[in-house]
Structure 1
Amino acid sequence: MQMRTTVSLVSIALAGVLLTACADSAAEEPGAASGEVDTSAPLYDSLPKDVKDAEELVVVGDAHPPYRTVESDGEVTGIDPDMWAVLGAELGVPVRMEVSQSMPSMLTGMQSGRWQAWNGPVQANPEREKAFDAITWLQTRTSYVFPEGSEVKEGEGAPCGKSIAIVGGSITESEVDKLNKWCAEQGEPANKRSDYADTNATLLAVKSGRADLAGMTETAALDVTGADDSYGYVTQTDEQGSGVSLLALLTPKDSGLGKTLYQAFQNIFENGEYEKVLKKWGLEPVAVEEPLINPTTKREPA
């Protein structure tokens, strides 16, 4: 499997890739789609003053296929750039993305004002909703990718007694803990977990034999196995402590963007752009019927 390149801090103007990322709709969009402010966009008037003054929205993401893949030439491709393309058309400002390498740095960077949003994948939970408005737009289960020749077989639940590489701080961390509790109840050995910076690193750990499995969202597992048939995956079952998790975009509560971004998601659900992006990436199985905001606390943005 050819691994993609991860860089520590790459700035990319998404407006420059809108025509290729979202050719069906963005090619005809005025203003933001061409890298310019569009004051006639549906939600431009509701943007905070600092975003209007800056004439752009600065967002962050990590290298996490299929959400974001940093190609060898520095271009960022994936669901996230495509989703920001259609959201940007609703907002009326170009979206500029910077790529960071860890969840802690992205959370603190947003709180310090360096970045204004992060499109995950991150689980909505009460702790995060204290500091951020969380807008859910995908659902997923935890899955475990294994290489060809593994003792693990597709169609079975997640295994016990294996070494699992995960992205540190991700939703998979708590899911492995739940799996290990189930393993203990069955009299089976626990899995050993190792933390890595990003999904590429977890797959390298599996490829090199340092780990038996790479734990990730089902969305990511679909991407990995779709791109390389030498990998398969199994999904953690309800019996094994897993459930459907809602994945969210986060924006700081004090940014003033929560309501506006939520409305932007509602708009792209209604106009069909959300469905188009997920269909392009073959991710219809993890779509949700509607976006939700702060679903675990039911708190409305200020």
Structure 2
Amino acid sequence: MSPRWMRLSLVLGALWAGPLAAAEGPFDLGPEQPGRIRVATDPAAIARLPKDYRFAEPGAFTVGITPGGPPLGSYATDARTVVGADPDFAQLIADSLGLRLKLVPVAWEDWPLGLSSGRYDAVISNVGVTEQRKEKFDFTTYRQGLHGLFVKADSQITQIREPKDVAGLSISLGGGTNQERILVEWNKQNLAAGLKPLELQLFDDEAARLVALRSGRADVIVQPHAQLVFVAARDKDIRQAGTLSAGWPLTSDVAIATRKGSGLVDALTLATNDLIANGTYGRALARWGLEEEALPRSETNPPGLPKF
């Protein structure tokens, strides 16, 4: 990571952390993390580790992570410690393998090179499974990739589950995003069915998208579900009306990425499924309000999203 990017990430992390840290809320963004869930070692998972695998740092599970914002991964109030749902899951995996967790903050665009070069053992940072990525990496799924459809707390809109539910509405979202691709398709379906068209309001940043919703210029905001869970918990003036798969009409799961053929993937999938079975996984997600993103079971290298 470049020094310039690191400085920018620290500033952004502090800005993200500040509002919630200063207010009462369900999320703890302090560096100490006393509520972080820990587990005992998982002998079965350890037995699946390849005998000849050399960890990036002996005795540690080194994980690349992008502190893009809470609740998935963010700098804590000390602007140094990375906290969130992904660090919590990384800790559970490290515990299961009997290893110390070492988190390495990395720019999103740099994680593939860092993983390929062996700088870290895995990446746990909201990485979606795609067929293109599977050519170079192995994947252990651990969360659903969801977009959230949120409305103002006092909105008359109660539920959004399919395209017809948004017919005639104005929707605030990011331009050039996967969300835009999906909503354009929804609009085509509605028009073909003789329903009212959508009005898509495209913005470059979340602040502008939220202003459009809160001012009444938009009826719905659509962006990654976890981000909106955080905003709703912090500000309490928006609420969820629905979710949709980030890969709609296909499913899109989030996964631990490891080097192709490194041999780690089987141990990580086994450890994840044991965490699901004993309930620890669910409690860890609930700590960050992400119960809806839970998977019933982890898979190794499932079908990924095709190239669009």
| TM-score, with structure 1 as normaliser | 0.69
Preserved contact between residue 165 and residue 214 of structure 1 (Cα < 8 Å): no
Counterpart residue number, 1:105 = 110
Look up the equivalent residue of 1:222 and give its one-letter code.
V
Residue deviations 1:102-138, cap 9 Å, x none?
Answer: 3x33334323433332224233232222222222222
Give matches, 1:44-55, under 5 Å.
46=49, 49-51=53-55, 54-55=58-59
Look up the equivalent residue of 1:94 and give its one-letter code.
R
Is 1:205 the counterpart of 2:208? The answer is yes
Aligned counterpart for 1:21 among listed residues 36, 39, 58: 36
Tell me the distance in 1 between the aligned counterparts of 2:244 and 2:13.
34
Counterpart residue number, 1:12 = none
Preserved contact between residue 141 and residue 235 of structure 1 (Cα < 8 Å): no
Look up the equivalent residue of 2:132 and give its one-letter code.
E
Look up the equivalent residue of 2:200 and give its one-letter code.
N
Residue deviations 1:146-168, cap 9 Å, x none?
Answer: 55688x834244465544127x7
Aligned counterpart for 2:293 among listed residues 275, 286, 290: 286
Tell me the distance in 2 between the aligned counterparts of 1:135 and 1:85.
15
Aligned counterpart for 1:94 among listed residues 65, 78, 100: 100
Q: 1:53 to 1:120 in 2, by over 3 A?
A: closer
Aligned counterpart for 2:46 among listed residues 43, 48, 52: 43
Preserved contact between residue 83 and residue 277 of structure 1 (Cα < 8 Å): yes
Gaps of 5+ in 1: 9-15, 31-37, 196-200, 298-302
Look up the equivalent residue of 1:51 and give its one-letter code.
F
Give matches, 1:168-247, under 5 Å.
172=179, 174-182=181-189, 185=192, 186=195, 188=197, 191-194=200-203, 201-202=205-206, 204-209=207-212, 212=218, 214-235=221-242, 242=249, 244-247=251-254
Counterpart residue number, 2:263 = 256
Preserved contact between residue 42 and residue 90 of structure 1 (Cα < 8 Å): yes
Counterpart residue number, 1:198 = none
Q: 1:20 to 1:194 in 2, by over 3 A?
A: same
| TM-score, with structure 2 as normaliser | 0.67
Q: 1:260 to 1:105 in 2, by over 3 A?
A: same
Cα RMSD for the two superposed structures: 3.8
Gaps of 5+ in 2: 1-9, 15-30
Residue deviations 1:249-294, cap 9 Å, x none?
Answer: 2222144322221122122123332122123334333322111111
Tell me the distance in 2 between the aligned counterparts of 1:255 and 1:17.
33
Instruction: For residue 89 of structure 1, report the CA deviation from its aligned partner.
Output: 1.0
Aligned counterpart for 2:157 among listed residues 153, 156, 159: 153
Tell me the distance in 2 between the aligned counterparts of 1:127 and 1:289.
25
Tell me the distance in 1 between the aligned counterparts of 2:255 and 2:180.
17
Preserved contact between residue 73 and residue 125 of structure 2 (Cα < 8 Å): no
Counterpart residue number, 2:129 = 124
After the TM superposition, which of the residue ranges 215-224 and 82-91 deviates more from structure 2?
Answer: 215-224
Is 1:83 the counterpart of 2:89? The answer is yes
Tell me the distance in 2 between the aligned counterparts of 1:206 and 1:149.
18
Tell me the distance in 2 between the aligned counterparts of 1:130 and 1:85.
27
Q: What secondary structure, in the 3-state scheme, does the structure 1 residue paired with 2:68 have?
A: coil
